[in-house]
Structure 1
Amino acid sequence: MNYLGTKILETERLVLRPFKENDVENMYHNWASSNNVTRYLTWPTHTSKEVTKSVIDFWVSRYDDAKNYQWCIEWKENKQAIGSFAIVHMEEEINSVEIGYCIGEDYWNRGITSEAFKEVIRFVFEEVECNRISARHDVCNPNSGKVMKKAGLLYEGTLLEAAKNNTGICDVAVYGITKKIYSR
């Protein structure tokens, strides 16, 4: 793989960029403090802006690492941070990555997450030169699967009681796409 780190990406409505220290307020209010947003995630709902600040400080400290990919989703219309995308797991020996994401509830059901995901997929295949991208979701959160399908990933199967999130042990639906399929 061609490690490039968190480069700025742009779509019609979004800028995907590294997080900045001044994103704390937006992240806390737009998604990190929402139980609805974090319900199916593996990290707990933020209880204070200090928690959000420590997370962003950690992410910012890692941007010098070319193997680190942690994007802030910025809504062009209001210049607010509204969510995040990241490579959450990497299998270097097979050039494979797993993508994770979340977005504020005010921005659900508007095609924003799939728009961002398509651009991340393009970047990872065309510029990072990865061979496989995967993502997964709790089966009780089918809307996340809809995002994956809309972004071009294919359903590969369900793993029984294979993960733990804020709801407890859960079954996970796995989606994937290879560069060969993407290039068609």
Structure 2
Amino acid sequence: MLSTRLVTRRLVLRPLLLRDAKDVQALAGDIRVADTTLLIPHPYADGLAEQWIKRTRRTFKKGDSFAFAILARTDDGEAEESFIGCMSLAIDKTHNAAELGYWIGYPYWNQGFATEAGRAVIRFGLEVLGLERIAATHLSRNPASGCVMKKIGMMHVGRLRRSIQKNGVFEDRELYEIIRSDYLGFNVP
């Protein structure tokens, strides 16, 4: 599975590599990124990216989680160019489901990259892995992430009030999901 590559019109998604650590550190370490995500700490300590990448590679190999580096494609369409961010599916094997998570580096916000990558990862989860359900949450104060979730075919199903503590403050999260029958009707391009 570590050879899995998802290719879209502008992007290549592939398993993270240790050589990505510098880009992960720089982009995820930006307070604007860390502040809008559930699990990225700030400051982003040295060495944390390498530890995280090693862990994601182990879980990718076991099929427990699929974390993809999101990279821009070169004009010829195949080679990888700029590191943009990450997107993952954390698998719940018992219930044939997954949780979608992602972050995009600040220089790449508002360019449709999360939507494009999200469509590819949803397709991978539902068609290749055969999942029945994919869920995702975002901080209520980050509505842009909810827009991405809607664009990739997910449906808003509720609010999880004061469900996570971020920087010492309890925050609400919005819950989205897509199930196999929704996907077949939505037919994500």
TM-score, length-scaled by structure 2: 0.86
> Are 2:13 and 1:26 equivalent residues in the alignment?
no
1:99-156 CA distance string (max 9 Å, x none)? 0000101111111001000000111111100011111111011111011011110110
Runs of 4+ in 1 over 4 A off after TM superposition: none
SS at match of 2:4: coil
> Are 2:49 and 1:52 equivalent residues in the alignment?
yes
1:17-50 CA distance string (max 9 Å, x none)? 0111111122122x22101001032231354442
1:138–1:115 Cα change, 3 Å = same
TM-score, length-scaled by structure 1: 0.89
Partner of 1:146: 147
* Alignment size in residue pairs: 179
- The code of the aligned residue for 1:74 comes to L
Partner of 2:77: none
Moved more, 69-78 or 103-112: 69-78
C-alpha contact 2:15 2:67 (8 A) present in aligned 1 = yes
Q: List alignment gaps of at least 5 residues for structure 1.
A: none
Q: List alignment gaps of at least 5 residues for structure 2.
A: 75-79
C-alpha contact 1:32 1:38 (8 A) present in aligned 2 = yes
Partner of 1:99: 100
State the identity as a percent: 30
Q: Which whole-Å CA distance do the structure 2 matches of 1:59 and 1:94 have between them?
A: 21
Greater length-normalized contact order (CA 8 Å, ≥ 6 residues apart): 1
> Are 2:71 and 1:74 equivalent residues in the alignment?
yes
1:6–1:138 Cα change, 3 Å = farther
SS at match of 1:55: helix
**Considering only aligned residues, what root-mean-square deviation do their CA atoms show, in Å?**
1.9
Q: Which whole-Å CA distance do the structure 1 matches of 2:102 and 2:181 have between them?
A: 24
Partner of 1:36: 32
SS at match of 2:61: coil
- C-alpha displacement at 1:96, in angstroms? 1.4
Q: Which whole-Å CA distance do the structure 1 matches of 2:121 and 2:175 have between them?
A: 18
